[in-house]
């Protein structure tokens, strides 16, 4: 995740030759997580914004960032714990879908990219999904 990347440029481009709704689901879940995680990284100047590495650091409380705030502050700690819980929840949702090989109906209703998905079409003929095309939002392209 490039947390300092210009949001007016292409932020994520995935070419999925298999046309898998599971790939789209994983990207969708990661984008939901990133909406909370990346602002936390910016605010606290986290030097390693990749959550897997950040949360697995031996001492998360000292793993980079600005010295202009106290790492032991309750605000930072609560944000960190919420981020870690959301990251684990995201991983679990992706793993459940991967295991069942099916995106749950409630997720299909959440995002228009799923509603536009046609499971009867050959995956190689699946239409391109382009999301977040508003001027002030990041772009996601799934081919």
Residues 6+ apart with CB under 8 A from 67: none
H/E run at residue 107: helix 105-110
Model pTM score: 0.71
- Alpha-carbon distance values, 77 to 20, 33, 70, 97, 134 (Å): 37, 18, 10, 30, 33
Annotated binding site for UDP-alpha-D-glucose: 17
Residue pair 20/124 in contact by the 8 Å Cβ criterion: no
Q: What is the pLDDT of residues 9-35, one digit of tens each?
A: 556 667 776 667 888 889 889 888 988
Average model confidence (pLDDT) for the chain?
Answer: 73
Q: What is the pLDDT of residues 81-94, one digit of tens each?
A: 898 999 999 999 99
pLDDT in the model for residue 73: 77
Annotated binding site: 17
Planar angle of CA 88, 104, 122, nearest 5 degrees: 115
Give the residue with greater pLDDT, 94 vs 8.
Answer: 94
Residue pair 51/83 in contact by the 8 Å Cβ criterion: yes
Model confidence at 122, in pLDDT bands (50, 70, 90)? Answer: low
pLDDT at 96 over 80: yes
pLDDT in the model for residue 43: 85
């Amino acid at each position: 995740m490039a947390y300092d990347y210009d949001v007016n440029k292409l932020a994520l481009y995935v070419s999925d030759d298999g046309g898998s709704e599971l790939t789209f689901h994983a990207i969708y879940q990661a984008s939901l997580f990133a909406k909370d995680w990346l602002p936390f990284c910016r605010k606290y100047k986290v030097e390693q914004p990749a959550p897997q590495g950040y949360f697995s650091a031996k001492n998360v409380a000292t793993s980079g960032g600005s010295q202009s705030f106290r790492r032991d502050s309750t605000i930072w700690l609560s944000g960190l714990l919420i981020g870690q819980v959301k990251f684990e929840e995201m991983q679990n949702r992706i793993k459940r879908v991967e295991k069942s090989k099916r995106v749950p109906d409630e997720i299909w209703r959440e995002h228009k990219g799923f509603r536009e998905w046609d499971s009867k079409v050959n995956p190689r003929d699946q239409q391109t999904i382009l999301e977040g095309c508003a001027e002030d939002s990041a772009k996601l392209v799934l081919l």
